Amino acid sequence: MLVEIRAGIHAWVQPDGSWWLNNAGAITTEAGQLVVDTCATATRARRFLDALEAATGRAPKLAVNTHQHGDHTYGNSLLPAETVIIGQEKMREGLRVDPIIDGCPPFWSPVPDWGDVERRLPDVTVAEALTVHLGERRVELRHPGGPAHTTGDLVAWIPDERVLFTGDLVFAGLTPLVFMGSVTGALAAVDWLAAFQPEVVVPGHGPILSGDDIARVLDEHRRYYRLVLQAGADGIERGLSPLDAARGVDLDEFAGWADAERLVLNLHRFYADHDGKELELIAAFTDAVTYNGGPLPTRV
CB proximity list for 296: less than 8 A, separation 6 or greater: 19, 107, 108, 109, 259, 261, 288, 289
Least Å distance, CB 234 to Zn ion, is: 27
Using the rule CB under 5 A, is 69 a contact of Zn ion? yes
C-alpha span between 184 and 229 (Å, rounded): 8
C-alpha span between 49 and 71 (Å, rounded): 15
Using the rule CB under 5 A, is 269 a contact of Zn ion? no
CA 22 to chain centroid, in Å, comes to 7
C-alpha span between 156 and 73 (Å, rounded): 15
Specify the residue, 69 or 90, whose C-beta has the smaller distance to Zn ion: 69
Q: Which of residues 197-256 bind Zn ion (CB under 5 A)?
A: none
CA 144-14-76 angle, 5° bins? 65
Specify the residue, 137 or 142, whose C-beta has the smaller distance to Zn ion: 142
Specify the residue, 156 or 240, whose C-beta has the smaller distance to Zn ion: 156
Least Å distance, CB 209 to Zn ion, is: 17
Least Å distance, CB 138 to Zn ion, is: 25
Q: In Å, how far are 46, 102, 161 from 280, measured between CA atoms?
A: 33, 19, 41
Least Å distance, CB 205 to Zn ion, is: 8
Using the rule CB under 5 A, is 168 a contact of Zn ion? yes
C-alpha span between 235 and 271 (Å, rounded): 9
* Alpha helices (H) in 68-211, listed in sequence order: 70-73, 89-96, 183-194
C-alpha span between 264 and 246 (Å, rounded): 6
Strand partners, 205: 171
- Interior/surface letters 165-180, b for 16+ CB within 10 angstroms, e for the rest: bbbbbbbbbbbbbbbb
Specify the residue, 186 or 240, whose C-beta has the smaller distance to Zn ion: 186
Least Å distance, CB 100 to Zn ion, is: 12
* Helix-strand-coil split of the chain, %, nearest 5: 35, 25, 40
Specify the residue, 28 or 225, whose C-beta has the smaller distance to Zn ion: 225
Instruction: From 43-51, 66-74, 206-214, 270-278, give the range in contact with Zn ion by CB under 5 A.
Output: 66-74
Specify the residue, 240 or 265, whose C-beta has the smaller distance to Zn ion: 265
Using the rule CB under 5 A, is 44 a contact of Zn ion? no
Instruction: From 35-43, 54-62, 64-72, 237-245, give the range in contact with Zn ion by CB under 5 A.
Output: 64-72
C-alpha span between 247 and 89 (Å, rounded): 36
Strand partners, 131: 140
Instruction: From 48-56, 69-77, 112-120, 228-236, give the range in contact with Zn ion by CB under 5 A.
Output: 69-77
Q: How many residues make contact with Zn ion (CB under 5 A)?
A: 2
Q: What mask, x for binding Zn ion by CB under 5 A, covers residues 123 to 162?
A: ----------------------------------------
Least Å distance, CB 59 to Zn ion, is: 26
Instruction: From 29-37, 62-70, 188-196, 279-287, give the range in contact with Zn ion by CB under 5 A.
Output: 62-70
Specify the residue, 28 or 175, whose C-beta has the smaller distance to Zn ion: 175
Specify the residue, 37 or 287, whose C-beta has the smaller distance to Zn ion: 37
Give residues in contact with Zn ion (CB under 5 A). Answer: 69, 168
